[in-house]
Structure 1
Amino acid sequence: MAVPARIGDIPAFADIQALSELMDDGVLLCRGNGRPLHANSAARALVPETENALAALVALLPAGAMGASRITGRWNGDLALTDGRILQVRAYHHRHPGDEGYLLIVFHDISEAHARQQELQRRHAQLRQTLVRLAGTQEQLLQSEKMASIGQLAAGVAHEINNPIGYVHSNLGSLQEYLHSLFALIEMYERALRAPDPKALLPEIDDMRARFDIDFISGDLPQLMAESREGIERVTQIVRNLKDFSYSGRDDSWKLADLHAGLDSTINIIWNELKYKVTLEKRYGKLPLVQCLPSELNQVFMNILLNAGHAIAERGRITVTTGTSTDADEVWIEIEDTGGGIPEDIQQRIFDPFFTTKPVGSGTGLGLSISYGIVKKHNGQIEVRSKAGEGSCFRITLPIRQHGRSES
């Protein structure tokens, strides 16, 4: 079938051929019924060493491509060749008045772009795996630093437990003696009740009361029991605090928590480390419940309080102050010490991992770095004000609510 010199307002066919040869994309022109009319060099190169290149190009098209383009006027999709190349195929249908019209199919090689996309997806998957590993490593570092801190405090905590256990043990010894004396006196009273003349045993009873000092036992026994109960409660509190700090937080959830309770719990744990050289002053304001991960914030408080204690050489003061911001959507905690301070030239590095000013072997350099990460995780800020020789003040600012998170 002869091709008309002009197709509607389309330039002469010879001009179309010439223009198509200038294109880097493959171009195939067909009649509306799918009969191929012309393919440029770029299109024929897609089916090399083929006797009927036009028919081979038509055969490359996915099933339904031509039919869909006749209905909607256009179609596009991707095509994978046997040699591994990927083509983007676009088909356009123009219906000429009085006949079936024409189809224009454009083949655009997207192999490189597809390969880059595949590479990006591969690298994205690798980055996701790396991120998961980093998250796991961060959690391990957090737990490692927490347990290292508790390890350093173990002797002090043992001392704190031994004190109440010691006097409870002593009180139990006294109680055993008191019970022996009371049971002996009770037995004497029972003998008197069974005797024909109970009054005859009264001198012996009075002698036993004086010898066992029953009046002293009566006064000392309630005090002894109260001290023992207080000691046991003290041990229970220490164990509860240790349990909170040794908990890894893996199953921890965001919840509304009392930050003052967290501060008090932290101070109880580390107090034996501080009490011999530190005067602690609390200036608690009125705080609302804060949505947070309580055990992680306790780790921050412990790290900063311990650093404050280590900064004090002999005697000094640590002041813990809390309050709410003026717009009442944030709370802040300040921990200030009267220690040696931080030189200005290293203040920018104190939150870097593994940076420490402590002697080798006495610090991991992770405490403030992990604290910084925890505060950022809470969408908060941690700042330091310090001058060498004048002490330091760490200020932690936290939002009261975490947007987009629900608490348990």
Structure 2
Amino acid sequence: MPSQAVLRALGERVKLGILVFNGRFEVSIANKLVRELFGVDEQGAAALARNLEALLPPFALPQSRETGTWTGSLPIGERVITVHLHHHAEGGNEAFLAMFQQLEGPEDYERELQQRHAELRQAYLRLNGTQEKLLQSEKMASIGQLAAGVAHEINNPIGYVHSNLGSLQEYLRSLFTVIESYERALRAPDPKALIHEIDDIRSRLDIDFISRDLPQLMAESREGIERVTRIVRDLKDFSYSGRDESWKLVDLHAGLESTINIIWNELKYKVTLERRYSELPMIECLPSELNQVYMNLLLNAGHAIADRGNIVVSTGVDGDEVWVEFQDDGAGISADLRQRIFDPFFTTKPVGSGTGLGLSISYGIINKHHGRIDLESTVGEGSRFRVVLPIRQPK
């Protein structure tokens, strides 16, 4: 293996600035070109790593530790220098190799700019894809937490529809018995002789009750099937990934009702829900993403209520904006927590009860819609979240 003296000698011949230092920023190699770029002599080269740390963006060293490399540009005086930073760790020790290249002319600047643009675009695409995956994961996590309640909401109507079908089967058997008795009477030589038998069958099978109960039974069954259909449709709309969803004009109240329908089993045992809807215009938005916001705010309001309480959902118009408000009379949020509730992964719930992403994702969705979320809260009295949205998105 070459000695450090040999490596230094080789570094002097390289047409790039070379700086090698360890995790304590102790320099082992600083070639002539890098000393010239930073304007130091051999004695001053020992401080180059510390100077470099101050010049680099704060994420450069962590990124190089995580991925093994970082590339960027540094302005030094009136010059722009390209930096390639590489990291290696072994046996608890780490080393960094920084290579510097000065951009000389317009062609270099343009080439460097195009490269940075391509890298930024790739980073943006990765970030955008990650955000979509995070949003979808939070949706699925929310539905997972509500799975038992949704199953209960579906099982209830399915249960009485199944029971009604059993009753309907008995009713049909009785009606067919009466029909058969009428058919026998029509074929008999003396139909009047069977009238008493037919009346006895009608009384025994309680046909008068069946004729009254049958329409009600069918109406209940139809209502139950429609309820299941509505829940399944709302679940499908809510869980839609939104990757190909376009901006469209929608009725916000329809989205609110759809979301309430999904989560109602989670709230109905301790919450009295009051709707104070105003007349709203059609809003330009991404409806699936707004439904995610409604769900997060409604569930948070429900979780803030310990035993029994009220949630008021209000809507209104203010100039060229609309607002949707969720007010609860729960525990409220202290001033120090209000500063952090929109931070990713911050949660006041017990471990395992929440991801800490609900309000953070909601904030991002509303920001994408060029809106805002206003919060007013008093400890012991409750909280009020107001979502403000433009009626039309800015061009």
TM category (shorter chain) comes to 0.7 to 0.9
Alpha-carbon distance in 2 for matches of 1:116, 1:171: 78
Which residue of 2 is the match for residue 389 of structure 1?
Answer: 380
Structure 1 partner of 2:141 = 148
Kindly state the Cα deviation for residue 122 of structure 1 after the two structures are TM-superposed: 2.0
Q: CA deviation at 1:202?
A: 1.5
Describe the superposition over 1:326-347 as per-residue Cα deviations: whole angstroms up to 9, x where unpaired: xx20001110111111111011
Give the alignment partner of residue 268 of structure 2, picking from 245, 264, 275.
Answer: 275
Kindly indicate whether residue 392 of structure 2 is the aligned counterpart of residue 401 of structure 1.
yes
Matches of residues 55-70 of structure 1 in structure 2 within 5 Å?
none
1:158 corresponds to which of 148, 151, 158: 151
2:310 aligned to which of 317, 332, 354: 317
CA distance in 1, matches of 2:111, 2:187: 102
- The corresponding residue for 2:163 is 170
- Counterpart for residue 360 of structure 1: 351
Shift of 1:194: 0.3
Aligned 1:124-273 pairs, distance under 5 A: 124-273=117-266
Deviation at 1:308, TM superposition (A): 0.4
Query: Cα distance, 1:203 vs. partner?
Result: 1.8
Aligned partner (choices 287, 299, 304) of residue 280 of structure 2: 287
Q: 2 CA distance for matches of 1:361 and 1:233?
A: 34
CA drift of 1:250 comes to: 1.0
Counterpart residue identity of residue 386, structure 1: S
Taking the aligned partners of 2:211 and 2:103, their CA distance within structure 1 comes to 97
Distance in 2 (CA, whole Å) between partners of 1:275 and 1:208 is: 47
CA contact (8 A) 2:324 2:387 kept: yes
Residue deviations 1:121-170 (CA, integer Å, cap 9, x gap): 32332121111001000000001101110111111111111111111110
Which residue in 2 is equivalent to 1:89? none
Question: Relative to 1, partners in 2 of residues 1:264 and 1:110: Cα closer, same or farther, differing over 3 Å?
Answer: closer
Counterpart of 1:211, as a letter, is R
Unaligned runs of 5+ in 1: 1-108
The 5 Å alignment of 1:328-367 reads 328-367=319-358
Q: Distance in 1 between matches of 2:355 and 2:121?
A: 28
2:294 maps to 301
Deviations 1:356-387, CA, capped at 9 Å, x for gaps: 11111111111101100000100001111112
Q: Which residue of the partner structure matches residue 374 of structure 1?
A: 365
Structure of higher CA gyration radius: 1
Structure 2 gap ranges (5+): 1-101
Structure 1 position 119, deviation (Å): 3.1
1:57-101 Cα distance to aligned partner (Å, 9 max, x none): xxxxxxxxxxxxxxxxxxxxxxxxxxxxxxxxxxxxxxxxxxxxx
User: In structure 1, how many angstroms separate the alpha carbons of the residues matched to 2:271 and 2:174?
Assistant: 46
Aligned Cα root-mean-square deviation (Å): 1.3
CA contact (8 A) 2:279 2:316 kept: yes
Match of 2:11 in 1: none
| Displacement after TM superposition at 1:403 (Å) | 2.1
Tell me the alpha carbon deviations over residues 12-54 of structure 1, each in whole angstroms, 9 at most, x when there is no partner. xxxxxxxxxxxxxxxxxxxxxxxxxxxxxxxxxxxxxxxxxxx
- The structure-2 alpha-carbon separation of the partners of 1:353 and 1:197, relative to structure 1 and needing over 3 Å to count, comes to same
Structure 1 counterpart SS, 2:255: helix
C-alpha distance in structure 1 between counterparts of 2:232 and 2:151, whole Å? 11
Q: How does 1:33-52 map to 2 (within 5 A)?
A: none
Matched residues, number: 294
Give, in whole Å, the separation in 1 of the partners of 2:333 and 2:149.
27
Correspondence 1:9-24 to 2 at 5 A: none
Which amino acid is the alignment partner of residue 172 of structure 1? Answer: L
- How far, CA to CA, are the matches of 2:121 and 2:227 in structure 1? 47
AA at the equivalent of 1:343:
S
Amino acid at match of 1:229: R
